[in-house]
Copies of this chain bind each other. A is one copy, B any other.
Amino acid sequence: MEITEAKQQFVNTWGALGTQWGINKTMAQMHALLLVQTEALTQDEIMETLQISRGNVNMNVRELVSWGLVQRQTKRGERKEYFIAEKDMWKVATLIISERKKRELDPIIKLIGQLQDVENTGNAEEIKAFKKMIKDIQKLGSQADKILHTITKAEENWVGSKLMKLIK
């Protein structure tokens, strides 16, 4: 396969996959594009390449920056802003994991916290079952929380050695 073709396929497929995992197509495509690009790109170059509007680029670039996946750059003497993606894939992975933890796990933990204390009035069996469920979810949630926290704070090497040794 030719490099240009490979890059194009990467951008397109990454975009399509994006929708599978809850982020919008454009954001995923832009991320992919910036990943395969050695040099930083301007808004206009992104618009041009992906054939999307200025507003769309602006919105999604801000989102990518807020995830920490992309950085703004200004070249001295130029007023234009350039965008460049974090290329260290381990960092990319941990950024994505912690962002998703924030969106997906933390709210569950919060909810469960609120449902802790249920009065003991009513069907005893029913209450017992409910409390057990809440407790089980809480236990899982806090385990998941610890695991994800550890992974995102860890050195890549820790996962490669210690964790993978346990897994294997």
Contact = CB atoms under 8 A, between A and B. Distances in A.
Interface string A1-38: 11110110110011001001110000000000001101
A89 B35 contact: no
A69 to B, nearest CB: 14
A24 to B, nearest CB: 12
Chain A's interface size range is 35 or more
How many of these chains are in the complex? 2
B129 A38 contact: yes
Contacts of A38: 125-126, 129
A122 B3 contact: yes
B89 A136 contact: yes
A160 B143 contact: yes
A103 to B, nearest CB: 6
Contacts of A93: 140, 144
A130 to B, nearest CB: 6
A163 interface: yes
A130 B20 contact: no
| 4 nearest A-B pairs in the assembled complex, by CB-CB distance | A89-B136, A22-B22, A21-B104, A150-B167
